[in-house]
Amino acid sequence: MKKRFWLGVLALTLVFGLVFVSCDEADDNGGDGFIGGTLNLSGQVWGWDYDGDDSYDWVQFTGDRATVTSDVGGSGSITNGQLSFSVGTPSVLGNIQQQLFIDGLVMEEWFNDFSLSPSSARGAVIEGLRSMPGGGALHNGWASGNFFESVVYIYVDRDVRMTGTGRTITFECNCEEWHSECNCEEWDGDCYCVGTTITRNFDLNLTAGWNVITVIEELNPTGRIETLEITPGASPRARWTLWYS
């Protein structure tokens, strides 16, 4: 089973909250989740305060980071806890289909009939930002209980249609990650059980320039069932959260 970012969050029992994102005003002729030629991100940055019993509380980050960057260019900073970041055309463009490992999500494995048209389109993906000095990765998302949302930004050099047909996949899962009891005989090592992932159909129209999508995951630990959906646009609840390595 491929590990996606939010499943790693679940393993740590962390919970996410709301994002304030300022982007270029969407063009009326743009596709689903279209932003424009420049991606501008801003808002309050949040951190976590551990209060015991695997529980974390939201804490507003009030510090500074002189430099905020991404893997595909752009620049920004954090001042008094406020993020400001901007990127135009990415410094590196690649095969979109190869880059779409959104949160470790391998599109061809998790969806039937995955299609990217035209397949020759090139682009870039931003799942998170890096901050310096002091380190720390910034991710944009929300979670409550076993419900997770992860906001992902995609740049394409031409208009693209991306589609996929949902499927049901059986996999082995570590029971501890699902907060479930293992009905296995005791042995030295992790206990694994059978789980199920159900993905939903999606049909996204990406317009040349920056676009935004939200990856939604919902877990049912009792039945060890995970449902996954991809939707256009950014979750209105997502928060920029600073993670330390």
DSSP three-state, residue 11:
helix
Q: Which residues touch 168 (CB under 8 Å, ≥6 apart)?
A: 196, 197, 198, 199
| Cis? peptide before 90, omega within 30° of 0 | no
- C-alpha to C-alpha distances, 131 to 75, 78, 152, 197, 213, nearest whole angstrom: 10, 8, 18, 33, 23
Reference 213, options 165, 162, 152; nearest CA is 152
- What DSSP state is assigned to residue 175? G
What are the pLDDT tens digits along the chain (245 aa)? 333 433 333 322 222 222 333 333 333 344 579 999 999 999 999 987 766 655 567 789 999 999 999 999 999 999 999 999 999 999 999 988 777 655 455 566 778 888 889 989 999 999 899 999 887 899 999 877 788 899 999 999 999 999 989 999 887 766 666 555 555 555 455 666 777 888 899 999 999 999 999 989 898 877 678 888 889 999 999 999 998 64
Q: How many other C-beta atoms lie within 10 A of the C-beta of residue 156?
A: 21
CB half-sphere exposure, 130, CA atoms < 13 A: 10
Q: What are the residue boundaries of the structural domains of the chain, listed by start? A: 5-243
- C-alpha to C-alpha distances, 228 to 25, 26, 191, 220, nearest whole angstrom: 28, 26, 24, 12
Residue 45 tokens, joined = 């940055």
Q: Which residues touch 7 (CB under 8 Å, ≥6 apart)?
A: 177, 217
> What whole-number distance in Å separates Cα of residue 222 and Cα of residue 206?
37
Place of tokens 């050099």: 157
> What whole-number distance in Å separates Cα of residue 231 and Cα of residue 33?
9
Q: What are the percentages of helix, strand and coil residues in the chain, rounded to 5?
A: 10, 50, 40
> What whole-number distance in Å separates Cα of residue 21 and Cα of residue 210?
14
- pLDDT for position 98: 73
Reference 75, options 66, 87, 83, 63; nearest CA is 87
Amino acid identity, position 38? T
- pLDDT for position 209: 97
Amino acid identity, position 191? C
The model's pTM is 0.79
